[in-house]
Structure formats: C-alpha cells, structure tokens
Amino acid sequence: MNPNRRLFLKTIAALGAAATLPSLARAAAAAVAPFPSGAKLATSPRVSVMVSGGTITKDGQFLPAVGAAHRLHYGQRKKILLFLHASLPVDWDGAEQKLRPIFAADGYDVESVHHWSGREAIRKIEEAEAFFVSGGETFLLLRTLHETGQFEPLRARVLAGTPYNGSSAGCNIAGLHIGGTNDFPVVDVPGRAALGFFPCVFNPHHPKVGEPEYAARVNKIRNLRRVNPDEIVMGMGNGAVARLHAGRVTVEAGPVFLYDGPAPRELPLGEVPELTKLVAAEPRR
C-alpha cells in the first residue's frame, strides 16, 4: 500500500475512534483548564511588589517616573539583590556590570545572586533587603528559579515583606502564571505557575494606542481570553509601572491596559479597584 494512503487511513481511523468516545469522557477532556490549576494568588498584608513593562532606562539612567517609583517602593532600603536568570549564565556578569552604575546613580548598591549557589544563595535571599528581577527570557527565568531551589525562598521573603521589583520577564513571574508573555518557550518549565503576587496575567511591552503593533497585540490577548475567559490580563507598556502595596494595586506610570471585559481599558494613574478587590478577597497568609 502507498505510505501516504496508509497514513491517511490511520488518521481517519483515529478520528473515528475519537468520535465514538462516550459523551462524559469528551466533556471531561474539554474541562481541562488550559492554564495550570496550581496557579493561585499568594498574598499577605506585607506584600510589596512593583512591576514594569520593560525599557525602564534611557541614556544609562532610569526613566524619571521609574526612578520616582523606585524611591517610593524601596524606601530606605539601599542594598538590592539582583536576579539575572532571564539571561544565560555567560551573560550574568555583564548584565550586573551594566545595571550597577544605573542603580548607583540613584543611591542603590546591587549585587547578583548568581555569585552564590546552593545554600549560600538561599542565605543571600533570606538576608536581602530588597529584590530586582530583570528582563529577558521568561521561561528561562522561571526554570532557573526552580532548578536552583530559589523559587520558594524568594516567594516566602516577599510574602514576609521584602520589596520585590520586576521588569519585563520579572514582571511576568509576579502574576498568576506566565500566560501573557511575549517570549518563545526557549526551554521547558516544570509548570507555568508563577509567584502569584498579582491576581492577573501580565503582558509586558504592550504598545500604546495608535502604535502600529497595538491592534495586533489587542487581538492576541483577546484570543488568549477567549480560551481562558476568567483570565484578567494587565498589559504593561514600556516604562509603565504598577504596584501592589498594603493590599492596594496602583498604576504609578503608564501606559497600562486592563483586559477584564470585551475590550481593553487604558488605566489612569492611581488605584485599580478591580484588582485590589481580588487581592482583598483572597485569604491572607
């Protein structure tokens, strides 16, 4: 028999078998959630998390609105532990060298956790005054946090009140799961459940209204929500900043877009009551 015809007949047979599945089995298969059931909100009254959509610097300095948000967020904490896991290990030293003078210009002293490993790295996390998680490849970031055993210690410290700041990929993992990332899945991950501090999924580098890419991004996120209608997506533009502090979600710098209905809404500066309400409804740790 011709190999192509044999493949065709096998495909038809498989489709026919699927069509004969009992209705209950088909219903059970359809009920499987597209995103991981393990993704859930992780909150406490002490959580203080800031996220940005990426491109937070210009000419070797933080954008003015970003710098102001840092001063608000970090307060008197001047020593910041960096997580550069969204890039390859060969790039970590260079990324640290690039970030150090940018933070230093605003009075912050930074060091990267990659200089330690194992229990020593966990100890640095447990002793840190504050965190910054940089951008890059979100899937690589999440996988490396799990492989190094740093995921749970990082989450525990933030739940205990240590300020977290994440840009781009670092923003993505602050949500419920990495569902709105623009990244290719360059590596496999144990699961897409993220740190879960915000009650939403993030989409960094979101175009502004009127930019050529805006309509395509809106359509892509609409398709995500058609498959996952209960998902709330927060689109974070370049230079945009959102913050969760003392149980309140606020926009500190725009543009920020909220997808919780048939069309996105660009949010004004100030509180986002829809997300604050979800945080308040969650049992506190």
Question: Is 205 known to be catalytic?
Answer: yes
The beta-strand segments (E) located in the chain are 48-52, 57-58, 61-62, 79-83, 109-112, 130-133, 164-167, 201-203, 233-236, 241-245, 248-253, 256-259, 265-266, 270-271
Are 243 and 198 within 8 A, CB to CB?
A: no
**Dihedral sign, Cα of residue 211, residue 217, residue 222, residue 228:** negative
Residue of 87, 112, 167, 168 with catalytic role: 168
The reply to whether 260 belongs to the active site is no
**Spatial CA neighbour of 138 closest among 109, 179, 82, 197:** 179
Tokens of 58: 């210009």
Q: How distant is the alpha carbon of residue 251 from its chain centre?
A: 16
Question: Residues 73, 85, 114, 205: which is the catalytic one?
Answer: 205
183 is catalytic: yes
In eight-state DSSP terms, residue 193 is B
Q: Which residues are catalytic?
A: 168, 183, 205
